[in-house]
Amino acid sequence: MPLALYALTAGAFGIGVTEFVIMGLLIEVSGDLGVSIPAAGLLISGYALGVVLGAPILTMATSRWPRKSVLLALMAIFILGNAAAALAPGYGTLMAARILTAFAHGTFFGVGSVVATGLVAPDKKASAIAIMFTGLTVATILGVPFGTWLGQLAGWRSTFWAVTVVGLAAFAVIWAFVPRDTAPEQQSSFRNDLAVFRRPQVLLGLLTTVLGYAGVFAVFTYIAPILTRISGYSESAVSPLMLVFGAGLLIGNLAGGKLADRKLTPTLIGSLITLTLVLGLMSFAIHDRIASALFVFLLGAAAFATVAPLQMWVLEKAAGAGQNLASSFNIAAFNLGNAGGAWLGGIVIDQGPGLGFVTWAAALVTLSGLAVAFIALWLDAGKRRAVCPAPAE
């Protein structure tokens, strides 16, 4: 794999750290800025909203730019956003800085996915996407715990300064290693870009991403209370179990990319079936310590095994004008799934049957994503039959 691909991975690492590290610093932020912990928690929601809004806006605004220039501009936004967060005098300013930083997220992964697939041979495209997304998994395993420790030791602002430095390093390696390109051959326009959403398979691909990934975050958002209140672990055991989850993310991500390079559609369907089964069987496993630890690993592996196939599938269905936009929208779809899954899990806990049934609800919502994928495949089959009708007897 070319060095340019690992430069994209460095950018993904920085973005992953800044997205998730705030979860471990809510107490420090709320105490320093004089707001409640739930209010500090809204900094997570604000970031997700920034991803959803920023993906289409920045992708369309930079659609005529060379893709390397787009990536460098996005990393500059990332650097400025994190520096502004470190300097934020109050809660409102910090929220604005988080949203600004999030604007770079969706377009970076969307355009980065297109760039990554262009750096490798056709039979390595999904693996290239998986390697770029490895930055997220390493951020989860190493970056977030280190950022949380640093913020608790030296103040939460020190964490954002550290992430700013990571952004500067990512900017440098992208500038040095990602090859120069020209503006897209097909001159882009808002109308041409938006036309990609007239394709039913693209819309169904985005919906599959939202529903498929909502199941993951319905469980992951509440994994700590599940492990402590149902599985019987102490609170101090949750962090080591998150390392187990992170190991699953890394293995599943790379395996999903390699399998998708061989057979994209079977990998997509197989990964969604596996994720549904893991979520369903986890409903029984969480009542035993050893089984719950195993399924924490399996959840991570099954969750990220779907990422490269889902991204690659949307890229294939959106080939041509508007591919950057569709790719960025799919990143936004992941974040919508994250937010929707967290909301669903909260509903099940607060107004439904309770914490022990979150995994069942998660399995059902991922199963609905699998159903949408089958509908898209059925439409594809119908389209092929229309183009190549059976010969007359």
Which residue from 249, 45, 29, 297 is spatially nearest to 148, judged by alpha carbons? Answer: 29
Band of residue 391 on the pLDDT scale cut at 50, 70, 90: low
How far is residue 369 from each of residues 201, 211, 254, 325, measured CA to CA in Å?
Answer: 13, 5, 22, 22
Which residue from 263, 275, 311, 259 is spatially nearest to 129, judged by alpha carbons? Answer: 311
Instruction: Assess whether pLDDT exceeds 60 at residue 104.
Output: yes
Greater pLDDT, 297 or 384 = 297
Q: Which of 45-49, 276-280, 371-375, 386-390 has the lowest mean pLDDT?
A: 386-390
Q: What angle do CA 260, 265, 269 make, to 5 degrees?
A: 100
How far is residue 73 from each of residues 13, 103, 111, 168, 342, measured CA to CA in Å?
Answer: 17, 11, 12, 12, 31
Which residue from 12, 186, 253 is spatially nearest to 109, judged by alpha carbons? Answer: 12
> Would you state the pLDDT for residue 138?
84
**Counting Cβ atoms within 10 Å, is residue 360 exposed (0-12), middle (13-18) or buried (19+)?**
middle
Band of residue 234 on the pLDDT scale cut at 50, 70, 90: confident
For the chain, the structural domain boundaries read 1-178, 189-385
Band of residue 90 on the pLDDT scale cut at 50, 70, 90: very high
CATH number given to 1-178? 1.20.1250.20
Q: What number of CA atoms fall less than 13 Å from residue 104's CA on the CB side?
A: 26
Top-ranked range on mean pLDDT: pick from 17-21, 48-52, 305-309, 314-318? 305-309
Band of residue 321 on the pLDDT scale cut at 50, 70, 90: low
Domain 1-178 and domain 189-385, same fold? Reply is: yes
Show Cβ contacts of residue 144 under 8 Å, excluding neighbours closer than 6 positions.
16, 17, 20, 21, 23, 24
CA atoms of 216 and 342, how far apart (whole Å): 9
Architecture of domain 189-385: Up-down Bundle (1.20)
Greater pLDDT, 348 or 37 = 348
CA atoms of 91 and 88, how far apart (whole Å): 7
Residues 246-297 have pLDDT tens digits of: 889 889 988 988 898 888 899 999 999 999 999 999 999 999 999 999 999 9
> Would you state the pLDDT for residue 178?
85
What is the value of pTM for the model shown? 0.79
> Would you state the pLDDT for residue 208?
93
Top-ranked range on mean pLDDT: pick from 71-80, 113-122, 195-204? 71-80
> Would you state the pLDDT for residue 84?
95
> Would you state the pLDDT for residue 135?
84
- Count of C-beta atoms within a 10 Å radius of residue 380: 15
> Would you state the pLDDT for residue 185?
46
Instruction: Assess whether pLDDT exceeds 80 at residue 319.
Output: no
Band of residue 21 on the pLDDT scale cut at 50, 70, 90: confident
Q: Mean of the per-residue pLDDT values for the chain?
A: 85
The whole-number average pLDDT for the span 49-57 is 82
The whole-number average pLDDT for the span 181-197 is 62
